Amino acid sequence: MIGGNLIAEARRRAGLTQAQLAGRIGSHQSVVARWETGRTHPDFDTVVSALRAAGFELGISLHQGDGHDLALIRRELTLLPHQRLSGMVDAVRKLDAMTAAAYG
């Protein structure tokens, strides 16, 4: 549903209704609604066209992965659910403390 999410975000940022965006791309409001809800999936060219119709360009770049994310995921998957939850709660508390220290 990534394409539909991008279209919805661009449409909202442009202040357009689904019908207005559909009109700009020569389609129907119901088609845009199906993309945005994930009932259908627009192809890449359609996403690019819809974003342009909303006044946006899609920038894409490739980056070499270093496996860091996979290592973190694998580590988390070794934990029990309550351990993962506890870790997240601890992280949120630390972020709150850092925010409080930074903004008084």
Tell me the average pLDDT of the chain.
94
Residue 45: predicted pLDDT: 96
Distance of CA 67 to the CA centre of its chain: 22
Contact 54, 11 (CB under 8 A): yes
Residue 38: predicted pLDDT: 94
**Region 2-53: CATH code:** 1.10.260.40
Residue numbers of the chain with a pLDDT score lower than 70: 1
Residue 1: predicted pLDDT: 65
pTM (global) more than 0.75: no
Burial of 22: CB neighbours in 10 Å, binned 0-12, 13-18, 19+: buried
